[in-house]
Amino acid sequence: MTRDTDDQLNPEEHEKLRGLSRGPESPSGLEQRVVDSLRSRGLLASRARRHFHWTWAVASVTAGVFCFGAGVLFGSRGVATAPKPAGNQYVLLLTNSSSVATSGAPQEIALVQEYSAWAQRQRLAGRLIAGEKLNDASLELSGSQGLQEVHTQDTSLGGYFVIAAPSLDAAIAIARTCPHLKRGGTIVIRPIDPTSEQHDP
């Protein structure tokens, strides 16, 4: 082998080094792991949602909210102790909108953080009772027609929060602060009729 005395590669060196670009190959399972990782962070649409990205967008937001909601707000991770929610209960139904739909996946990370911060504030203030993301799979059961599948585009409900508030006006005021509105979503507020189990002291 001829060795260059300057910093130029001789043809043999050049060939050997360029030959390294033929390997090593990436592991075959890595692609799926990357896809799963992106999907778990809301950066890829799930298979069921792929054709209805507006639904997926809101769902990924609510998924993030409730990931934080369930894991941090109601979990046992040592966050600050919140007062027990008291008062009348209201369900906030989070529905989709076209403006939320146009968000790109990366922006949804910021959305999730915004929702999470809101949920955290409600929890620490003793106003948040529960929250869940709703799966896209919908079935409709009726006495006359039996069980029918409801197509994703026919449903706009992405998730819900259950909050406690002293009055409907107070519940509306809480809902007004939810970032879902600022992002173009709609919130349906429904009072929950009290039952003895719900309001046991």
Partner 1 sequence: MTPEVALADERALAEKFWRHGDESAFRALYRRQTPLLYRVAYRMVANADRADDIVQDTWLRAAQGLPSFRWQSSLSTWLVGIVVNRSREEIRRTPNEVLAQDELPEPPARDQDPWQRLDLERAIAQLPEGYREILLLHDVEGYTHEEIAQALEIEASTSRSQLARARAAMRVSLEQRMDGPHDT
Could you tell me the smallest distance in angstroms from the CB atom of residue 174 to partner 1? 30
**Contact with partner 1 (CB under 8 A) among 79, 82, 105, 157:** 105
Could you tell me the smallest distance in angstroms from the CB atom of residue 193 to partner 1? 39
How many residues are there in the chain?
Answer: 201
Q: Does residue number 19 form part of the binding site for partner 1 (CB under 8 A)?
A: yes
Could you tell me the smallest distance in angstroms from the CB atom of residue 115 to partner 1? 17
Could you tell me the smallest distance in angstroms from the CB atom of residue 15 to partner 1? 9
Q: Does residue number 78 form part of the binding site for partner 1 (CB under 8 A)?
A: no
Q: Does residue number 135 form part of the binding site for partner 1 (CB under 8 A)?
A: no
* Binding residues for partner 1, total number by CB under 8 A: 41
**Contact with partner 1 (CB under 8 A) among 71, 106, 191, 194:** 106
**Contact with partner 1 (CB under 8 A) among 14, 176, 190, 199:** 14
**Contact with partner 1 (CB under 8 A) among 67, 70, 86, 109:** 109
Q: Are 150 and 181 in contact (CB under 8 A)?
A: no
Q: Does residue number 132 form part of the binding site for partner 1 (CB under 8 A)?
A: no
User: Which residues in the 23-52 window bind partner 1 by CB under 8 A?
Assistant: 23-27, 30-31, 33-35, 37-39, 41-45, 47, 50
Contacts of residues 172-179 at CB distance under 8 Å and 24 or more positions apart, as own/partner, are 174/122, 174/127, 175/92, 177/118, 178/92, 178/94, 178/115, 178/118, 179/111, 179/114, 179/115, 179/118
User: Which residues bind to partner 1, rule: CB under 8 A?
Assistant: 1, 3, 7, 9, 12-14, 16-21, 23-27, 30-31, 33-35, 37-39, 41-45, 47, 50, 53, 56, 60, 104-107, 109
